[in-house]
Amino acid sequence: MLLSRPAGGEVRDLLVHSAPVGGELPGLWFCRLDGRETKSERSVLVDRDRTQDGLWNELAPIPSRVALLTNDDADLVAVLAPVRGEAFGREWAWISQTRFLYGPALPAGARIAAMAGGNKGLWALGAGGTESPASHPATAPATLPATRPAIKGLTLYQFKGEWKAQPAAWPPDMAVLAIGDASMRVIDDTLYLAARTDHNTIRLMKHDRDRWVTVSEIISNVRWKVLRDKEKPELAGTEVTETKPPRYFKLLSLQGKPAVWIQPGDADAEAAGILWTQEDWCNIEMPTGKIRAAAMDLVIVRDQPRLYYLIADDKLTELPKLNEQVVNIDGKFVGKPQQIVYAHKQTGPELNWIAITVMAVLTIVILNMVLRRRGGEGDESRPDDQE
């Protein structure tokens, strides 16, 4: 089976990120893509307050698609989706309630394949470019399509004031062809990477001084039931396991160890995805309602998995509502889903007209006060004989 994925990875309607940062609550952010049907895409970024109130507040919207989220200490970091026709990202930005700042590009013309951060700076996996320290001259696996060029080793960069290439020999059999083919995360000061090796295998690795060390190989399986088979009637009613490429996967942290959430490749999957750990794995239940596979994402908050998903109403008259569902370690739902409500940031011409109106009123009030004061001073300065 050949890899068949769009350039730049799958378009995700929802991205969620969580990280332990300063505050009473862990950092939690989400990004929803609006305007996909009208081709006027914009990414709405929302941050949860880290006090016990846990209120959600909208950050500055971005008039383009976001490909992945991470954090640099308490600030959200968003990597913008590749420009049309490209497979990897170019631009990224720090985003918070008080700032929106584009970050410097990777050196030597490299593009972003993955990014991860924490409280000790940012890491990025760079594709292309002219520098490749201690990298193998990798060749593409035989299962890769000829329409995509082989990536001759990806370079690891670390950001501390500026991007600097780090020694990390790149395995020659990896299949990172687009920004969705790799996921990085810092867990207990160790950098981990989950990346494709072929159509249905994900390799989990960790960075150890000057190389990537393999931790596990994860095979994406899909289990389905045979309803009927003309050639082999005896198979009817039996379950069959088939390997299919995952449509999406993300590296997470559970109890201080790496975990991987994998979304199955088939559209009619009965589970929302698979949560894999080195000790075990489980199917995450599928919520009810009209939910696109690209409109679901999983995070782990204080060792508690949480599934977030956008659900549309029957008539599709409103924007899909965002729900949060707490999930047990065995994949079963805990309680009922909760709808996420957040304070919208007012932007655009409406905000400009409000500002203009307020400033005009303030100007009139100040002028009135100045004129009255001048009039009063004139009265006090008149000679007694003129009264």
CATH value at residue 170: 2.120.10.80
Range(s) of the domain holding residue 372 = 350-386
Q: Which residue has the higher pLDDT, 146 or 162?
A: 162
Are 227 and 304 in a shared domain? yes
Beta bridge partner(s), residue 187: 190
Q: Let me know whether 225 and 83 are in one domain.
A: yes
Residue 111 shares a structural domain with residue 199: yes
Q: Is there a single domain that holds both residue 95 and residue 48?
A: yes
Mean pLDDT, residues 119-140 taken together: 68
Q: Is 211 among the domain residues? A: yes
Comparing CA positions, the residue from 322, 343, 351 lying closest to residue 31 is 322
pLDDT at 78 (0 to 100): 96
Mean pLDDT over 31-44 rounds to 80
State pLDDT tens for residues 213-269.
Answer: 999 998 766 555 444 555 556 656 555 555 567 889 999 999 999 999 998 776 556
Q: Mean pLDDT, the chain, as a whole number?
A: 80
Q: Are 261 and 271 in contact (CB under 8 A)?
A: no
- How many angstroms separate the CA atoms of 287 and 16, rounded? 17
Number of folded domains in the chain? 2
In a domain, 7, yes or no: no
* 29 within some domain: yes
Residue 341 sits in the same domain as residue 354: no
Q: Which of 69-78, 83-92, 233-242 is the least confident region?
A: 233-242
Same domain for 367 and 305, yes or no, is no
As a whole number of Å, the CA-based R_g of the chain is: 26
Contact 269, 222 (CB under 8 A): yes
Domain identity same for 229 and 358: no
Between 39 and 206, the more confident residue is: 206
Report pLDDT for 335: 96
- pLDDT computed for residue 357 by the predictor: 58
CA dist 6 and 87 (Å) reads 8
